Structure 1
């Protein structure tokens, strides 16, 4: 699942920072041209835009920002899932509907490594991605922290705790949600599996949706965010940090991917984003790997 989600590939060897910057700006420019020139029956962005506090490319394609999670306004919204009704409404506005999703049988085959050309290894990565991106209330992840299995629910922060007990962004190079990119790339395992298992219509629907334009913004955002993969949000003079998976383009990309797998997965994604406690954000940014021991920072999330 691209972007965090399924996250972007690493820097090309030999590319200079200057050339990478030009390439990223060019990609975003192409998206803006495509957005203004292409009219589709579904997934068309709204004419009005909202100030989410995220800057380009972290804000994503203009017109879609309003569909992404808003900042929490109270503790009751923290890590709350979207719910199915909201998920179906958002799907419609990005150009998807339930008929585009895999059937129950196709979904079970894919995540079990079955079907024509199935892979257990690929299935495990896809399943891990879904669990990380839906780490909302009632769906804890379990990790080994100080030798003990420990639950955590952190989706609104755009963070998760990996199986080794390290706190990181889902866009971290270590995360399944980053490593899955080779599977979802054009011509990769997922596209091939869909075509071989009677789900070509699902693949076509995905590429015709907002997924395509948002994926380019997500790629650009990740390329300039270093090991930490955190995003700065600034509204009314107040700045805060959140994990890459909660930035509008990455959230919408991952939403689209989960929705075509199973609409109930998209319904379990976080409805709101929350600022990462500053001490935690500083520690993640200071880490060479973008990871810190969860045991050292768990009290900030209690």
Structure 2
């Protein structure tokens, strides 16, 4: 953190510190893929000079694009998690370390509705968001599909199945990862909880990380992606689709936020992205809600 002086929780802070907290609280909304940015990157996607196949704004800041998960190269990489060693390395690359994360007690309180001013209802939304973004091997989500409780593991595709059995992008307006925005707005539940529970240092660390610049790109990407919230990747003359949560800026934003909550959870995020089967991508894009019944398309993920 350099020589920056941190105000102690509960004490009066200067105007610059207050502005920093407000900005961070606005940006925290991106954790659940509803980004609020202080900058705007507008217009249609333009070609990037990197070789990942993503275009601006979906590629994010060039300095960090290499940090995001690459396209898988073998079937055994599908939906596999990062692992702790790689997660810690990535954290360092985006400007974070374990000392920036909430303490075990702070995370336990936040995720259960405890602590000063805690809310169980708010905690359930936050936990649901983390579960969606860490839906990798060993961490299935269960949904009601054709009358049966059905597991699914789809994070590497940038998709998930909601409790009612609909397949969608985590950036869909139906998802907790968007609905949580009211909790994360400046002056809202999350900001109040963090201030009152000694997490000011964590907020400042996040604000100083790659999260800030990536949030602007993520915000722009979502504004031009319609109801489907999918991203087109084109490399070597081949185009494919992936859900918004696996685009470099969104993935890095989510990684940074989950890492400061609990580094062990960030280690469960997907290590590679996988193209959505074309039939499924076409159906999601054709749907006015960006959702399709998982039961109708599950066979494409087998």
TM-score norm. by structure 2 comes to 0.86
Aligned with 2:53: secondary structure?
Answer: coil
**Residues of 2 paired with 1:157 and 1:215: CA distance?**
21
Quote the offset at 1:51 in angstroms: 1.9
> Counterpart of 2:114?
114
Aligned with 1:64: secondary structure?
Answer: helix
Quote the offset at 1:175 in angstroms: 0.2
Quote the offset at 1:4 in angstroms: 6.6
> Counterpart of 1:216?
216
Quote the offset at 1:236 in angstroms: 1.0
Task: Work out the number of aligned pairs and report it.
Answer: 269
Say if 2:7 is the partner of 1:6: no
Quote the offset at 1:219 in angstroms: 0.8
> Counterpart of 1:172?
172
User: Could you list the runs of 5+ residues in structure 2 that have no partner in the other structure?
Assistant: 1-27, 43-48
Do the aligned residues in 1 keep the contact of 2:83 with 2:267 (CA within 8 Å)?
yes
> Counterpart of 2:41?
28
Report runs of 4+ in structure 1 exceeding 3 Å deviation: 1-4
> Counterpart of 1:143?
143
Do the aligned residues in 2 keep the contact of 1:4 with 1:171 (CA within 8 Å)?
no
Aligned with 1:202: secondary structure?
Answer: helix
Aligned with 2:34: secondary structure?
Answer: coil
> Counterpart of 1:236?
236
**Residues of 2 paired with 1:243 and 1:149: CA distance?**
24
- Deviations 1:211-242, CA, capped at 9 Å, x for gaps: 11111111110011000000000001110000
Quote the offset at 1:184 in angstroms: 2.6
**Residues of 2 paired with 1:277 and 1:237: CA distance?**
17
Do the aligned residues in 1 keep the contact of 2:40 with 2:219 (CA within 8 Å)?
no
Do the aligned residues in 2 keep the contact of 1:3 with 1:222 (CA within 8 Å)?
no
User: Could you list the runs of 5+ residues in structure 1 that have no partner in the other structure?
Assistant: 10-22, 30-48
Quote the offset at 1:188 in angstroms: 2.8
> Counterpart of 1:206?
206
